[in-house]
Amino acid sequence: MANKKITHQICMMMYGFGDSHVPNPETVRLVENIVQKQLRTIVNEALKHWDGKMVKGQELVFLLRHNKHKMQRFVKYIRQQEVTRKLKSTNPSVINIDPDDVPKNPLIEFIERLDETGEFLDTSEIDETKIDRLLRADRISKDLNEEKYIEFQRARCASFRRCQANFEHIKQWIDPTDEVKFTQEALEVLCYFAYQTVAEIVDYALLVREDAQSGNDPLSHLPGSYYTATMFNAPHGLERKKIDCTRIHTNQPPISPNEIKEVMRRVHTPQAGKLNFGGKVPETHYLFAL
């Protein structure tokens, strides 16, 4: 069942990530359905590590352990959230704060216990996916007048956390029968996962469009079973000039349902390459947030 507030946020997020300023309503509904199904699958995966009381953020973060890049991005997000909370609780005249004065989030402490090699907390690595999104946003912004620019920046600030302060809407959307109990921390993590899912769906839809225009397969360099943000590496990285599919707010149509369906077709039929030695594809390989 559609949730109007969530549908509106997805519509804004899609524009913020590079879709038309008026996304196709049918596409938005399809994306909403995909995000909802993926969140429910993530919750079911988390329940395998459940303590029998309430789903906590730790069970959800634990699912990120197989992808260090997404774990690093999540660590940056949590740290930024803590800095924001600290700034809101301090004197309004304070512009900068000492990172040592920011209390350590319990989820960061949990990740520290998981991080045997130190790579999860090493946020010095370049996030190519994030850079690609920023470059796309920059190119879009340059073509906008002041009014449209403000509208675009509002879209870029859209998130599932804005649906309601206590996350009640996201909870009802994921678990309408109220069969599962969540902590507020878990719901915040799910909002983050939902946001990243929308972002990657748009990323990949634009690559599908580029594929259609260039005749190249943007997935040809993926040898393994995990369909992740590494799509932006190799021939689709920054080392070559590529077709600019991000100017769709001016001269191209919005992302179509067929482009989203093509993304999902490729996600569900990954190449059986070196990483899985031709074995069974993991059941969670299609979960964008993980």
| Whole-number Å distance between alpha carbons of 290 and 288 | 5
pLDDT digit string (tens) for 159-194?
Answer: 887 655 568 888 889 999 888 899 999 999 999 999
273 within a domain of the structure (yes/no): no
pLDDT band at 101 (very low <50, low <70, confident <90, very high): low
Most distant CA pair in the chain, distance: 59
The per-residue pLDDT for 98 is: 57
| pLDDT higher than 60, residue 235 | no
Percent of the chain exceeding pLDDT 90 equals 35
pTM for this predicted structure? 0.81
Residue found by looking up tokens 């005749």 in the block: 215
DSSP, residue by residue, 71-123: HHHHHHHHHHHHHHHHHHHS-TT-----GGGSPPPHHHHHHHHH-SSS-TT-T
| pLDDT higher than 70, residue 218 | no
The per-residue pLDDT for 228 is: 38
Mean per-residue pLDDT, 4-31 = 92
284 within a domain of the structure (yes/no): no
177 within a domain of the structure (yes/no): yes
45 within a domain of the structure (yes/no): yes
| Whole-number Å distance between alpha carbons of 155 and 28 | 14
| Whole-number Å distance between alpha carbons of 103 and 253 | 46
282 within a domain of the structure (yes/no): no
> By the 8 A CB rule, do 139 and 246 touch?
yes
Residue 254: DSSP 8-state: P
| Whole-number Å distance between alpha carbons of 50 and 56 | 8
> By the 8 A CB rule, do 72 and 122 touch?
yes
Helix (H, G, I), strand (E, B) or coil at 169: helix
pLDDT digit string (tens) for 236-279?
Answer: 444 444 444 444 445 568 999 999 999 998 888 766 444 444 45
Q: Which domain holds residue 9?
A: 4-121+137-268
The chain-wide mean pLDDT, for the chain, equals: 79
Domain count along the chain: 1
84 within a domain of the structure (yes/no): yes
